[in-house]
């Protein structure tokens, strides 16, 4: 199970307060649904107001974080 980490840094920005945010999670191998939940959290961390994330694979399978 890989550990995926995203770091969002405003250290070099003139308008920021030099803040750094980081989110890390173990994502189940080859589980697109689990990875979508990771992406949802990262978008929130970046400051976006995102409710759901949807993905369609090349074979036409549909995945969503919608409950």
Domain segments of the chain as ranges: 3-64
pLDDT digits (tens, 9 = 90+) for 21-53: 999 999 989 899 999 999 999 999 988 999 999
pLDDT classification of 13: cutoffs 50, 70, 90: confident
Tell which residue, 26, 48, 46, has the closest CA to residue 37: 26
CA distance 55 to 64: 6
Return the DSSP state at 14.
Answer: S
Place of tokens 């307060």: 17
User: In whole numbers, what is the pLDDT of the chain averaged over residues?
Assistant: 91
Q: What is the pTM of this model?
A: 0.80
């Amino acid at each position: 199970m890989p550990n995926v980490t995203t770091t969002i840094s405003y250290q070099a920005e003139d308008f920021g307060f030099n803040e750094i945010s980081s989110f890390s999670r173990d994502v189940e191998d080859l589980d697109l649904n689990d990875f979508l939940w990771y992406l949802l959290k990262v978008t929130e961390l970046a400051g976006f107001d995102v409710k759901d994330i949807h993905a369609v694979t090349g074979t036409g399978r549909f995945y969503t974080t919608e409950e």
